[in-house]
Amino acid sequence: MAAPQLKTDSKYDNYDYPTTSPTVQSGHPGHTTPEQDAQVYQLRTQLEQAGYSERLDTLSMLRFLRARKFNVNLAKQMFIDCEKWRKEFGVDHLVRNFDYKEKPKVFQYYPQYYHKTDKDGRPVYIEQLGGIDLTAMYKITSGERMLQNLVVEYEKLADPRLPACSRKSKHLLETSCSILDLKGVGLSKISSVYGYVKQTSAISQDYYPERLGKMYLINAPWGFSSVFSIIKGFLDPVTVGKIHVLGTGYQSELLAQVPKENLPKLFGGTCDCEGGCALSDAGPWQDPQWSKPPKWADSKAGASTTIDNEPSSTISTHEPQRAPQPSSEPHNAGIGQQAPMGQ
């Protein structure tokens, strides 16, 4: 029997990495039914007729369709809403020009970074939430810039990180493995964590669907399970099944998913990158054997002045009109990156 293959469109599909999902699952690339292929064509055609010409590749169409249970009308509306938000937020401009040069200082309070891969070959994303000090952080950056950084990192997850991981793994990878360390997040901060997760999920669920592979909430404090039971109420059941809430005895389960040599020592692994794992950005996307320049870097669109660390009122003409807005609570300040709930 012939190996499964993605049914592609020559006008929009120009992939330079594997395009078949390793898991045989209906609706996933390489494992679609004739009806689902027809729905991809129908969705793309309707979007073309509505005037859209970008991001209509087959993998993207399938992600939006899966997010809406292959309801073409709902997937179409989701795509249109996403494109409207991208324009309002200035995503294409940000990904090419945003310079988060204050990152090392921000990381002293709130480390959030990609670090190598899990046993399935997916990028591992790590956040440590216990040390957040909003007062100190706002002397370094702004809530708007943290939100802009969130979006830029979502874009870089899609390209170049996931394509590089797919090339190395020799099969398509579309999701990440996220680790959220809740050490130091006591009862006084639980309500803030709830707000943070809700904000992060709003961006990922609405505008970056089908990106969550697994999520581990480690060092979960007493009482967090009750909060999570509320959080589950606004998450898709499929998403809930990907989330593992663990206490302090998390290492055996985490190491079953992430190789010890890829996991920082802080979490029970053996990796100790020179200069620190948090700032290394180590992974296949840094290896010339697997990495290629992201496709968004080839476009001239949005090529303008770099956005650096200026007061938020003068940072950019692109205001985040449809994204969750910063608030006064530490974890509710428009911060967080690839902890994509609701995907």
Comparing 82 with 335, which gets the higher pLDDT?
Answer: 82
DSSP string over 31-49: ---HHHHHHHHHHHHHHHH
Report the pLDDT value the prediction gives residue 342, as an integer from 0 to 100.
42
Three-state DSSP at 178 gives: strand
Report the pLDDT value the prediction gives residue 208, as an integer from 0 to 100.
95
- pLDDT band, residue 330 (cuts 50/70/90): very low
C-alpha–C-alpha distance, residues 233 and 240, integer Å: 9
Task: With a cut of 80, say whether residue 339 has pLDDT above it.
Answer: no
Cα-flanking dihedrals φ and ψ of residue 245, to 5°?
-95, 115
Task: With a cut of 70, say whether residue 36 has pLDDT above it.
Answer: yes
pTM of the model: 0.86
Q: Angle, nearest 10°, between helix axes 187-207 and 143-156?
A: 50
Task: Please count the CA atoms within 13 angstroms of the CA of 8 that sit on its side-chain side.
Answer: 13
Three-state DSSP at 115 gives: strand
Number of H helices, E strands in the chain: 12, 5
Average pLDDT on 311-320 reads 36
Report the pLDDT value the prediction gives residue 193, as an integer from 0 to 100.
53
Report the pLDDT value the prediction gives residue 309, as an integer from 0 to 100.
40
Average pLDDT on 36-44 reads 98
Task: With a cut of 70, say whether residue 331 has pLDDT above it.
Answer: no
Task: With a cut of 50, say whether residue 73 has pLDDT above it.
Answer: yes
- pLDDT band, residue 143 (cuts 50/70/90): confident
In terms of Cα–Cα distance, which of 22, 280, 318, 287 is closest to 152?
318
Residue written as tokens 């398509």? 172
Q: How confident is the model over 101-118, as pLDDT tens digits?
A: 999 999 999 999 999 999
Task: Please count the CA atoms within 13 angstroms of the CA of 112 that sit on its side-chain side.
Answer: 24
- pLDDT band, residue 134 (cuts 50/70/90): confident
Report the pLDDT value the prediction gives residue 135, as an integer from 0 to 100.
80
Q: Are 196 and 129 in contact (CB under 8 A)?
A: yes
The mean predicted confidence, pLDDT, of the chain is 85
C-alpha–C-alpha distance, residues 171 and 18, integer Å: 5
